[in-house]
Structure 1
Amino acid sequence: MINFNGTIVSQDANILTQNRAFLYGDAVFETVKIINNKILFLEDHYFRLMSSMRVVRMEIPMNFTMEYFEEQILSLVKNNSLDDSARARITIYRNDGGYYLPQNNTISFLIHAIALEEKFYSIDQKEYEVDLYKDFYVTKQLLSSIKTTNKILNITASIYANENGLDNCILLNDSKNVVEALQGNIFMLLGNKLITPPVSEGCLNGVMRKQILGLAKKIANLEVVEQVISPFDLQKADELFITNVIKGIQPITKYRKKEFTTKLANELVEKLNEAVRVA
């Protein structure tokens, strides 16, 4: 079952041959985590979605409030008996019509959800190896900071990682600086300084990125900064980790010949779960 424009229907009902999301990647999306029938970081997801729609000049319906956004996702989750723990994705796409130039800017949306095995966040202790992806680069522009369905770079880089026995790849921007990983933002611990690239470098304005920045700033003797990271900096790091809303924190244990500790990542996961339980 899927939620199509507020109505729960069978998945086969949404085969749309004129769908602009399919034809042109004319869509934006949010992926959220639900625990105990509650959307984590609801406001951050909703306002990022609204901002993304404005950037690509989609019309925002008057009824598309945060309460409506929440209701539509949770109604699907409840219908599919996934209230306990789930991930849901809402995709907003411009309605049919036109070629590159749309006939109008009205929108439709689709929501689908699946169960998650783990309710709260945890650290996977297995080896996690990454390397740079240098075939294509992320551009330093506003469109790179929002979640659109134009993800062919991430797809080709994921194939590259799979073909080379890697768990992930680190993406670079057109200035050859570190931007993010394939599925999330990247953080680097160097001494007592925790660094993540600024959004102006072309990285996603991540919801979990925001949570981790806030939690890290409360740790004594830890300096938290947003600054440019070069590929050469990575091998000097004490820790590297990736963040996204579904996984939380994924420590990187190996980059080329350098291996990393996971102490700060473990501490931040504990603080993240404390915040989630209180919220």
Structure 2
Amino acid sequence: MINFNGNLHSKDSYFLNQENRGLRYGDALFEAIRVVNNKVFFLEDHYLRLMASMRILRMEIPMNFSMEFLEEQILATVNANNLQSKPVRIRFTVFRNNGGLYLPKTNDISYIVEANALNTPFFILNEGAYEVELFKDFYVNADMLSTLKTNNKIINVVGSVFASENGYQNCLLLNQDKRVVEALNGNVFLVKGNLIKTPSVKDGCLNGIIRKKLIGILGALEGYEFEESAISPFELQKADELFITNAIVGIQPITKYRKKEYGSTVAADLLGKLNAAARLN
């Protein structure tokens, strides 16, 4: 079942048409959210990011769009799919309503909530082979729009095709200054000794929820030094560890980039702390 504006529809029903602005112009935002046993992980962070993004895109935020409303619609969709006792991936999509060309006729919005079962209730460390390469066909433009989770993800789509065609599990994206920005499906962190780095949002990376949580965790830990700073491709092969973060996987260690192979000791340490934060949130 799919939740469209509070009404539940079967997954094979047709409730959108060719005028949908998300389809026509990518005029849409989405949040990928993990839910376990009817508990929404990092609900406040997802809600605040969505509201901030809607304001930036000049979408009209409905009066009833509270954090409680968001949670209610997510759980209604989980329950309609009989997934209340399972870990679930939610996609909450918001798009501007039909009408207009580039200039919309209205800034009012609609939303869709989708729910799909996940395999594990908490984040686990995948230590299987995970090789990445730089994707250099196109670049991320480092501005505020690139930090939002919009439906304008064509570079991620083409990069994913490139990775699949060449036997990589993922690719790292570069900005116009040839700095490493993020992975195709999440933020990237680099470990060298006790130093942990991740690109700044000023470099054009997604303002990720798990990225934010790890920055908070690292700020309270002794034994690690943390920086938000640019990462050059040259640094990748000098690193001890590289890992990717997103709200569904948590932390994904990178095991190989070109001829360099990496460990996952720090990733495993931080994953335990991330799971603890998820249970407490």
Report the TM-score range of the alignment, normalised by the length of the smaller protein: over 0.9
SS in 2 for 1:13: coil
SS in 1 for 2:126: coil
Once the two structures are TM-superposed, the CA of residue 82 in structure 1 deviates from its matched residue by: 1.1
For residues 84-112 of structure 1, the C-alpha deviation after alignment (integer angstroms, 9 at most, x for no partner) is 31011111001010111111111001111
Once the two structures are TM-superposed, the CA of residue 192 in structure 1 deviates from its matched residue by: 1.1
For residues 104-158 of structure 1, the C-alpha deviation after alignment (integer angstroms, 9 at most, x for no partner) is 1110011111000111111111111001000000001000000000100000000
Please tell me the residue identity of whatever aligns with 2:43.
L
Runs of 4+ in 1 over 3 A off after TM superposition: none
How far apart are the structure 1 equivalents of 2:88 and 2:41?
11
**Structure 2 portions without partners, runs of 5+:** none
Aligned-CA RMSD value: 0.9
How far apart are the structure 1 equivalents of 2:279 and 2:16?
39
1:198 is aligned to 2:204: no
**Structure 1 portions without partners, runs of 5+:** none
Percent of pairs with identical residues: 54
State which of 134, 143, 146 in structure 2 corresponds to 1:144: 146
- Aligned twin of 2:30: 29
1:71 is aligned to 2:72: yes
Once the two structures are TM-superposed, the CA of residue 216 in structure 1 deviates from its matched residue by: 2.3
Please tell me the residue identity of whatever aligns with 1:49.
L
Once the two structures are TM-superposed, the CA of residue 278 in structure 1 deviates from its matched residue by: 3.2
- 1:158-173 alignment, distance < 5 Å: 158-173=160-175
How far apart are the structure 1 equivalents of 2:233 and 2:259?
14
- Aligned twin of 2:53: 52
Please tell me the residue identity of whatever aligns with 1:41.
F
Please tell me the residue identity of whatever aligns with 1:131.
E
1:5 is aligned to 2:5: yes
State which of 171, 180, 183 in structure 1 corresponds to 2:182: 180
How far apart are the structure 2 equivalents of 1:120 and 1:137?
33
For residues 20-58 of structure 1, the C-alpha deviation after alignment (integer angstroms, 9 at most, x for no partner) is 101111101111000110110000000000011111110
- Aligned twin of 2:260: 258
Please tell me the residue identity of whatever aligns with 2:259.
K
Please tell me the residue identity of whatever aligns with 2:34.
K
SS in 2 for 1:90: strand
- Aligned twin of 2:81: 80
Once the two structures are TM-superposed, the CA of residue 276 in structure 1 deviates from its matched residue by: 2.1
What is the count of residue pairs matched by the alignment?
Answer: 279
| TM-score under structure 1 length normalisation | 0.98
Please tell me the residue identity of whatever aligns with 2:15.
N
Please tell me the residue identity of whatever aligns with 2:161.
I
Once the two structures are TM-superposed, the CA of residue 217 in structure 1 deviates from its matched residue by: 2.7
